[in-house]
Amino acid sequence: MDEKSVEFASLLASRLCHDLLSPIGALNNGVELLADEHDPEMRERCVELLGESARTSAAKLKFFRLAFGAAGGFEDEIDAREAQTAIEGLIGTKGRIDLEWMVGPSTMAKAKIKVLLNLALIAADAMVRGGKLLVGAEQDEIVVRAEGERLILDPELKNALLGKTGEDGLTPRAAAAWLAHVLVRQGGGEIQVSEPEENVLLFGAAFAS
């Protein structure tokens, strides 16, 4: 493993820690409140909040394991339903995002699953006020479409998806986008990104046949 690989792994770890800090912090706060609370109604509310934070943490961990980790073991192909379940769990924690799943293959190469998941993650993060997230795939093409009243795509993420980095290099926020770019490039393809105009944001990834 070279220095660049170590640096990217550090960026990715920082991104994961940042995303998990909120729900795990809520768990910690909830436990402290529960220990000091004696009112039955308030204790019930604390338990509800603990359950919600636990579900959010579990959903994010499941998604990250498939999108960034070695989920699926040593198999080359992964059941596409696992990706669907992971995305449903992720957007369920964000609220107000409806998923439209249009993935044809029942299984997909591990690299393609990771690209699909990372593009879906970026699209979901761009949907400030929610909306509809369409995820589609056929053979060597992946399409992710976000529709909503307000869509904001960080320029750094767009540049990372297209293989461009600034003078200061990557930040943890752009780690998922850069990973998608590298995987598609290794597959002999490219990623296309539209501007978030007319309440629509579109990502496309094409792999070499």
Q: 161 falls in which pLDDT band (50, 70, 90)?
A: very high
Mean pLDDT of the chain: 86
Q: Is 166 a residue whose pLDDT tops 70?
A: no
Q: Which of 194, 197, 195, 153 is nearest to 176 (CA)?
A: 153
Record the tokens describing residue 137, joined without a space.
Answer: 């795939």
Report the topology of domain 3-206: Heat Shock Protein 90 (3.30.565)
- Mean pLDDT, range 165-182, rounded to an integer: 84
Beta-strand relationship, 200-206 and 141-147? antiparallel
Residue 201 β-bridge partners: 146
Residue position matching structure tokens 């943490």: 57
Q: Is 57 left (phi over 0), alpha (psi -120 to 50) or beta?
A: alpha
DSSP for 139-197?
Answer: TTEEEEEEE-S-B---HHHHHHHTT---TT---GGGHHHHHHHHHHHHTT-EEEE---B
Check residue 32 and give its pLDDT: 78
pTM: 0.86
As to burial, measured by CB atoms within 10 angstroms (0-12 exposed, 13-18 middle, 19+ buried), residue 80 is buried
The full set of domain ranges for the chain reads 3-206
Q: Is 156 a residue whose pLDDT tops 60?
A: yes
Q: Is 95 a residue whose pLDDT tops 70?
A: no
Residue 200 β-bridge partners: 147, 197
Check residue 147 and give its pLDDT: 95
- Mean pLDDT, range 92-97, rounded to an integer: 75
Determine how many CB atoms are found less than 10 A away from the CB of residue 8: 15
Q: Which of 72, 34, 70 is nearest to 50 (CA)?
A: 34
